[in-house]
Amino acid sequence: MKANGIPFVQGKTWTTDSFYRETRNNFEKHKADGCISVEMECAAVQAVCDFRGLELYPFFTSGDLLDAPEWDERKL
């Protein structure tokens, strides 16, 4: 991506299987740990890849922001 001039941000992702569990304390802890995103499906796909001995290179796109002053749905 860098060689082709495609902008990207690389960072840790927090994955959870619980809707609406992004509490302020959880969010602050994971942000302090360096997480830049939260998602719900990648852990399952990674588990399948681990079981099958496959490499996974996930790419994410932002849907909304948890650390904005107020929620912005950001429909794309």
- The answer to the question of residue 17 being in a domain is yes
Look at residue 6 in the predicted model and tell me its pLDDT.
Answer: 86
In a domain, 45, yes or no: yes
In a domain, 67, yes or no: no
Q: Which of 60, 69, 6, 58 is nearest to 38 (CA)?
A: 60
Total tally of structural domains belonging to the chain: 1
In a domain, 57, yes or no: no
The pLDDT value recorded for residue 49 is: 95
* Residue 5 belongs to a domain: no
pLDDT for res 72: 67
Does residue 42 form part of some domain?
yes
pLDDT of residue 8: 83
69 found inside a domain: no
**Domain interval for residue 24:** 12-52
pLDDT of residue 44: 86
Is residue 70 in a domain? no
Q: pLDDT tens string for the chain (76 positions)?
A: 889 998 888 888 888 777 667 788 888 898 899 988 888 788 889 899 999 999 998 887 776 676 777 776 666 5
